[in-house]
Amino acid sequence: MKALVALILLVQLPIHKAVPAAPPAPLGCDDPESEAAAEVAVNYINGHSHHGYKFALNRIEDIRVVPQGPNNDIIFLELDLLETKCPILSPTPLANCTVRSFAEHAVEGDCDVKLQKVDGTLSVLASKCHSHADSSEDILKVCPDCPLLARLNNTEVLETVSAALNDYNSKTTDSYLRLLEIGRAKIQYHPAHAVVTEFAVGATNCSAEEAKANVGACQLLPEDQSNFGFCTAVMVKRPSQDLQVNCQLYGHQVPAPDISLLFWDTSAGLAPSAVGVTNHNLALVHNNPVASESSSSEILRSMLSAKSLTKRAVAEAAQHDKVPRPVGFVPPPPPCPGKIRHFDI
């Protein structure tokens, strides 16, 4: 009898089935986790760029997280970046670098980045970037008198850089400086004809005085003594001629920047990819060789797959928005794209 009662009570007990854990809510582009991933990505991009200037985050366009297992996620990011005034060789932290204003003829970078997050630690698996200057038409609409970016191999630009470097070396008592690359140039025609240039330099094993005797023997300092810097020069051609040069050396940096892909031994100081263009393209395609997923084909396929899935999700969301809503319904803001930190190009 007791057994029967126990059986009846057992049958009456509620049956609890195992409920699968709900999938994590999708990240928004302005969520702290997204911004942390973007910070790692931007630092990686600047750390593997060899030309021009550092870039700062302007907007997180999209983010997608693909769980791989416990405490293991793959993250896909689409980022909009803006060029700063800090040369890529500058030791200045990115947080202290000023983004160029719209009127200065801004340069935008577009990047796709794949990261992995394991036990809370983020690492970049691959990145793909390109950059472009804002259109001349957009600049002139806002600032009709603003000078525009000139081609880096423009004759007036090359003449100005050469004259500026010769002028500096003729007056300094320190090391003879050698041109690494031209970073930026603008030519103004009104009210005065002036050429404005920016260029990277490196100290050599010669003093400026020694270089007068045999400049061909002057070589960049070895890696353990290297000293790089940056110069700005303004040459006014009309109505009167004037040349102003300012150079700053950064001092030896540890670790020393790798300039093997930056310096080209040409009279113009231009990498072949920079000839005939107005800005150094952030043409970065990089796979992290120490990451756990470093197969370029696999990474690129997964990036493309992520983009197609994102587009499909956007289309589904648009279809969902056609569903009739109650009067007064205010839809929540879309999780992506994120906020614009500086300005839109």
Q: Where are the domains of the chain?
A: 32-137+286-320, 151-271
Residue 316 is predicted with a pLDDT of 46
Domains 32-137+286-320 and 151-271 share a fold: yes
pLDDT at 1 over 60: no
| Residue 328 region by backbone torsions, left for phi larger than 0, else alpha for psi between -120 and 50, else beta | left
With beta carbons less than 8 A apart as the criterion, state whether 191 and 240 touch. no
Instruction: Measure CA 261 to chain center.
Output: 17
Higher-pLDDT residue of 253, 57: 57
Alpha-carbon gap, residue 298 to 312, rounded angstroms? 21
Q: DSSP for 49-116, please give it.
A: --SSEEEEEEEEEEEEEEEEETTEEEEEEEEEEEEEEEETT--S-GGGPPBPPGGGT-EEEEEEEEEE
Q: Region 173-189: what's the mean pLDDT? A: 95
Q: Region 106-118: what's the mean pLDDT? A: 96
254-303 pLDDT, tens digit per residue, is 888 877 655 544 444 455 455 557 787 777 676 776 565 544 444 444 55
Instruction: Measure CA 186 to chain center.
Output: 22
Residue 262 is predicted with a pLDDT of 58
190-216 pLDDT, tens digit per residue, is 889 999 999 999 999 999 999 999 999
pLDDT at 7 over 90: no
> Within a 13 Å sphere around the CA of 193, how many CA atoms are in the beta-carbon half?
8
In this structure, which topology does domain 32-137+286-320 adopt according to CATH? Nuclear Transport Factor 2; Chain: A, (3.10.450)
pLDDT at 238 over 70: yes
With beta carbons less than 8 A apart as the criterion, state whether 182 and 161 touch. yes
CATH code: domain 151-271 is: 3.10.450.10
Higher-pLDDT residue of 155, 279: 155
Q: pLDDT-based confidence at 322, cuts 50/70/90?
A: low
% of the chain at pLDDT higher than 90: 62
pLDDT at 124 over 90: yes
% of the chain at pLDDT higher than 70: 74
